[in-house]
């Protein structure tokens, strides 16, 4: 695909960048907290920064870190991150009609940088698929500003945390962040029951080796959730 003007000069790039700039303070603050928590999780600043720059997924990183520090097997670490990232799998089905005309490597390159806010803002700007060049430019503008805000503040958080004493327990900020995300997912009776089942399963299976209790909890909650949807549908629940 050749084009006379580079992507960053397309007018939609500026639109995407501007919309992200308006929420950059929130992105940056969350990046700062995540950086402090990651540094305090016990991997040390170098790995924390490397992880942030490569993985670029705050909640998956915060979920994977305690497992890494405790020496859980790689597949459990990766499976946990995959599950925390499952919302992106669902988003990717939404991205598909917009970018299917691009090559696979371009699609995946673009997808790697898209975070929750990118999806929300993009779908607001482009309710239906259209000019793929304009859409790509918009995403590029959006993620450039978001990536910079997130990574700058994460690195700053890691560096700052390195001079804060361990006994302050600032790593707990990461758990509080995940707690808030968890609470935001409790939207109806079925999700509350699934969460309670997951907690009981995780506790009951705690003695299992390799942190398999996380896998047991996921399987149990998924099974109970689907059963509830079919046997006792909650009329208030969104379909």
Partner 1 sequence: MSPWMNIVAIAGLTVVSVVTRGFFMIPDREVPIPPWLREALRYAPLAALVAVILPEIAMTGDHLIDTWKDARIYATVVGILVFVTTRSLLGTILAGTAVLLALRLSIGW
Q: Say how many C-beta atoms besides its own lie within 10 A of residue 186's C-beta.
A: 12
Per DSSP, the three-state class of 24 is: helix
What is the size of the binding site for partner 1 (CB under 8 A)?
Answer: 92
Q: With binding defined as CB under 8 A, does residue 67 bind partner 1?
A: yes
Q: With binding defined as CB under 8 A, does residue 29 bind partner 1?
A: yes
CA dist list (Å): 196 to 27, 32, 67, 76, 203: 30, 31, 21, 21, 11
Q: How far is the CB of 151 from partner 1 (least distance, A)?
A: 14
Both tokens assigned to 214: 């996380």
Residue of 26, 120, 204, 234 that binds partner 1 (CB under 8 A): 26
Window contacting partner 1 (CB under 8 A); options: 120-128, 129-137, 146-154, 171-179: 171-179
Please, are residues 159 and 41 in contact by the beta-carbon 8 Å criterion? no
Q: How far is the CB of 102 from partner 1 (least distance, A)?
A: 9
Q: List the x/- string, 123-162, binding to partner 1 by CB under 8 A.
A: ----------------------------------------
Q: How far is the CB of 48 from partner 1 (least distance, A)?
A: 10
Residue of 56, 122, 138, 150 that binds partner 1 (CB under 8 A): 56
Crossing angle of the two packed helices 24-38 and 45-55, in degrees rounded to 10? 140
56: left (phi over 0), alpha (psi -120 to 50) or beta: left
Window contacting partner 1 (CB under 8 A); options: 7-15, 24-32, 132-140, 145-153: 24-32
């Amino acid at each position: 695909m050749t084009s006379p003007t580079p992507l960053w000069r397309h007018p939609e790039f500026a639109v995407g960048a501007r919309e992200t700039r308006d929420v950059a303070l929130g992105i940056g603050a969350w990046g700062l907290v995540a950086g402090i928590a990651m540094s305090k999780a016990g991997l040390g600043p170098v790995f924390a920064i490397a992880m942030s720059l490569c993985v670029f997924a705050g909640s998956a990183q915060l979920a994977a870190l305690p497992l890494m520090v405790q020496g859980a097997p790689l597949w459990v670490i990766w499976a946990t991150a995959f599950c925390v990232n499952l919302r992106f799998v669902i988003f990717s089905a939404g991205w598909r009609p917009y970018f299917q005309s691009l090559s696979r490597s371009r699609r995946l390159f673009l997808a790697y940088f898209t975070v929750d806010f990118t999806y929300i803002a993009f779908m607001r700007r482009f309710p239906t698929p259209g000019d793929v060049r304009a859409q790509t430019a918009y995403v590029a503008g959006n993620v450039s500003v978001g990536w910079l805000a997130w990574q700058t503040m994460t690195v700053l958080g890691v560096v700052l945390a390195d001079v804060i004493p361990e006994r302050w327990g600032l790593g707990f900020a990461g758990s509080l962040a995940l707690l808030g995300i968890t609470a935001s997912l409790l939207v109806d009776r079925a999700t509350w029951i699934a969460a309670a089942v997951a907690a009981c399963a995780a506790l009951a299976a705690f003695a299992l080796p390799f942190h398999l209790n996380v896998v047991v909890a996921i399987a149990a909650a998924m099974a109970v959730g689907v059963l509830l949807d079919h046997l006792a549908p909650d009329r208030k629940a969104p379909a």
